[in-house]
């Protein structure tokens, strides 16, 4: 029986050690990579960055359609590409008719200028087809803008990918407006055998060679790729880009939250320090007030903190400052279950029960109160998660994880440790449990 308890205790401590190692090293003793605390995605309020909602500014004030939003998203992505901003998150929200752009501040970036970036990505897409000056090309052989415009984005009614009926190769079909038809006919007559370059803003997209004089306003751009799937993707991208040039509105940032990395870093430092102090104070209180069980609760609480961090990392939850506060709060709440159990154990001891019986009864009788308490917290946290925005979502999620984990650690870890330790001879004094000898 004693040996069994020793084994149990050993297993609990081994588990805590392994989880702590994973948390801080990000691997299982260097053998298997397991995400740890360093792999947690920090939110924009910590790391700095932009969180913006862009709304379409249409002439008649109508909401954009899903298709228009998707196209606008493509424009924004292309422009961010051009700015070299590759780490970003662009999502559309059809109900609200907006596009949400999140750009974390890039490490080492000094010219962080969210206003200019937002202005750039929000303006009306300017798609042009321009004549090519073969002397005026960049190092990759791509033509540079000449300003001699053949067509503009508004001249294109539609653009879509298709398969050429004869060659079976992928093509992009352009339908031009009356005005576009005329100027395209004039240009293709003049430029046979030469290239026409397509630019989005000033960014080069594609430069097909004019094969013939096109008079009916239906142009075809052939996509040359070795593999069919590559060609299909390429054709779709090109068609999307050209359609984007026909989008009749610009996007304006109506909600901007940009945080400088300096402030975020300071806030994070302070919050982490506060968390550590809070944790130590709680442990101190528990040990002074509940003695042996308090010490065991502190160990379980340490595991709770480690596991919360691990779960956040494993689930890929973005950690914001309120999220961090959520962890601290769940540590504070996590100890509640222990308090309820220990108070119950004390009561049972006072009524003259043996330590073993008191512990068993304490856990049994405290269960319903702990369960109810945790359920209500989880209920509101789930609602906050559904209705919250930005950093508060992270708070709701860390709170849910923390509360569930605290329920599990209190009922498994604390219990196992307490039962095993209480069997030792030296742990048979009731004052260790905060009760005078009966």
Residue 429 tokens read as 């004094």
207 versus 340: smaller Cβ distance to other proteins: 340
Question: Contact 117/50 with Cβ under 8 angstroms?
Answer: yes
Q: Which of 21-29, 73-81, 184-192, 373-381 is the region at the interface with other proteins (rule: CB under 8 A)?
A: 373-381
Alpha carbon distance 398, 319 (integer Å): 8
Question: Contact 299/374 with Cβ under 8 angstroms?
Answer: no
Residue 405 is a binding residue for other proteins (CB under 8 A): no
Question: Contact 428/380 with Cβ under 8 angstroms?
Answer: no
User: Residue 268 CB, nearest distance to other proteins (Å)?
Assistant: 7
Judged by CB under 8 A, which of 26, 35, 169, 388 binds other proteins?
388
Q: How many residues bind other proteins (CB under 8 A)?
A: 80
Look up residue 94 and give its DSSP letter: T
Judged by CB under 8 A, which of 170, 172, 359, 399 binds other proteins?
399
Judged by CB under 8 A, which of 261, 298, 359, 418 binds other proteins?
261
Question: Contact 358/349 with Cβ under 8 angstroms?
Answer: yes
User: Residue 307 CB, nearest distance to other proteins (Å)?
Assistant: 17
User: Residue 343 CB, nearest distance to other proteins (Å)?
Assistant: 4
Residue 277 is a binding residue for other proteins (CB under 8 A): yes
User: Residue 428 CB, nearest distance to other proteins (Å)?
Assistant: 24
Q: Can you give the length of the chain in residues?
A: 438
Residue 274 is a binding residue for other proteins (CB under 8 A): yes
Q: Which of 58-66, 170-178, 189-197, 380-388 is the region at the interface with other proteins (rule: CB under 8 A)?
A: 380-388
129 versus 395: smaller Cβ distance to other proteins: 395
Residue 384 tokens read as 């906050």
Residue 409 is a binding residue for other proteins (CB under 8 A): no
35 versus 388: smaller Cβ distance to other proteins: 388
Residue 94 is a binding residue for other proteins (CB under 8 A): no
Judged by CB under 8 A, which of 150, 221, 319, 340 binds other proteins?
340
Alpha carbon distance 336, 332 (integer Å): 7
Rounded to a whole number, what is the distance in angstroms from the first to the last CA of the chain?
26
Helix (H) or strand (E) holding 175: strand 170-176
Residue 267 is a binding residue for other proteins (CB under 8 A): yes
Residue 427 backbone phi and psi in degrees, to 5: -100, 20
**Per-residue x/- marks for other proteins, 11-30, CB under 8 A?**
--------------------
Residue 96 is a binding residue for other proteins (CB under 8 A): yes
230 phi-psi bin (left φ>0, alpha ψ -120 to 50, beta other): alpha
Q: How far is CA 72 from CA 86, 237, 436, in A?
A: 17, 13, 73
Judged by CB under 8 A, which of 160, 204, 249, 285 binds other proteins?
285
Q: Which of 169-177, 305-313, 331-339, 348-356 is the region at the interface with other proteins (rule: CB under 8 A)?
A: 331-339
Judged by CB under 8 A, which of 26, 35, 169, 373 binds other proteins?
373
User: Residue 125 CB, nearest distance to other proteins (Å)?
Assistant: 17
Interface residues for other proteins in 109-168 (CB under 8 A)? Answer: 110-112, 114-116, 118-119, 122
Alpha carbon distance 63, 201 (integer Å): 24
Judged by CB under 8 A, which of 103, 159, 396, 418 binds other proteins?
396
168 versus 436: smaller Cβ distance to other proteins: 436
Identify the three-state secondary structure at position 417: helix
200 versus 329: smaller Cβ distance to other proteins: 329
Residue 343 backbone phi and psi in degrees, to 5: -60, -40
Handedness of CA 230, 236, 241, 242 (dihedral sign): positive
- Which residues are within 8 A (CB) of 129 and not within 5 positions of it... i.e. 6 or more apart? 149, 150, 151, 152, 184, 196, 197, 198, 199
Q: By C-alpha distance, which of 333, 431, 343 is closest to 380?
A: 333
CB atoms within 10 A of CB 103: 25
């Amino acid at each position: 029986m004693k040996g069994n308890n020793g084994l149990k205790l050993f297993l609990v401590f081994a588990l805590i050690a392994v989880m702590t190692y994973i948390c801080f090293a990000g691997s299982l003793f260097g053998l298997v990579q397991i995400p740890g605390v360093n792999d947690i995605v920090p939110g924009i309020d910590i790391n700095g960055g932009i969180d913006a909602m862009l709304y379409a500014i249409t002439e008649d004030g109508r909401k954009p359609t899903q298709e228009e939003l998707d196209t606008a998203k493509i424009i924004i992505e292309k422009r961010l590409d051009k700015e070299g901003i590759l780490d970003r998150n662009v999502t559309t929200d059809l109900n609200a008719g907006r596009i949400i752009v999140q750009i974390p501040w890039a490490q080492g970036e000094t010219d962080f200028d969210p206003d200019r970036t937002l202005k750039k990505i929000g303006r009306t897409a300017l798609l042009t087809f321009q004549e090519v000056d073969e002397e005026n090309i960049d190092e990759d052989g791509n033509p540079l803008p000449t300003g001699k415009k053949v067509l503009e984005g508004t001249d294109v009614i539609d653009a879509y990918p298709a398969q050429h009926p004869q060659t079976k190769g992928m093509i992009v079909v352009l339908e031009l407006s009356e005005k576009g038809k005329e100027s395209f006919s004039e240009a293709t007559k003049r430029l046979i055998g030469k290239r026409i370059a397509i630019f989005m803003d000033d960014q080069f997209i594609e430069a097909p060679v004019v094969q013939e004089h096109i008079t009916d306003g239906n142009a075809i751009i052939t996509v040359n790729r070795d593999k069919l799937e590559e060609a299909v993707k390429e054709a779709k991208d090109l068609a999307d880009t050209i359609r984007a040039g026909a989008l009749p509105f610009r996007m304006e940032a109506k909600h901007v939250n940009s945080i400088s990395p300096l402030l975020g870093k300071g806030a994070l430092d302070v919050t982490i320090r506060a968390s550590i102090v809070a944790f130590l104070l709680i442990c101190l209180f528990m040990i002074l007030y509940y003695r042996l069980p308090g010490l065991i609760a502190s160990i379980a609480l340490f595991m709770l903190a480690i596991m919360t961090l691990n779960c956040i990392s494993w689930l890929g939850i973005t950690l914001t400052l309120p999220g961090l506060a959520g962890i601290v709060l769940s540590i504070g709440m996590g100890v509640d279950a222990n308090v309820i159990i220990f108070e119950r154990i004390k009561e049972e001891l006072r009524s003259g029960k043996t330590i073993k019986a008191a512990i068993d009864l304490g856990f049994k009788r405290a269960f319903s109160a702990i369960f109810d308490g945790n359920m209500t917290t989880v209920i509101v946290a789930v609602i906050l998660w559904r209705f919250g925005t930005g950093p508060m979502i992270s708070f709701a999620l860390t709170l849910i994880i923390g509360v569930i984990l605290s329920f599990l650690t209190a009922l498994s870890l604390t219990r196992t440790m307490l039962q095993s330790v209480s069997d030792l001879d030296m742990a048979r004094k009731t004052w260790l449990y905060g009760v005078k000898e009966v």
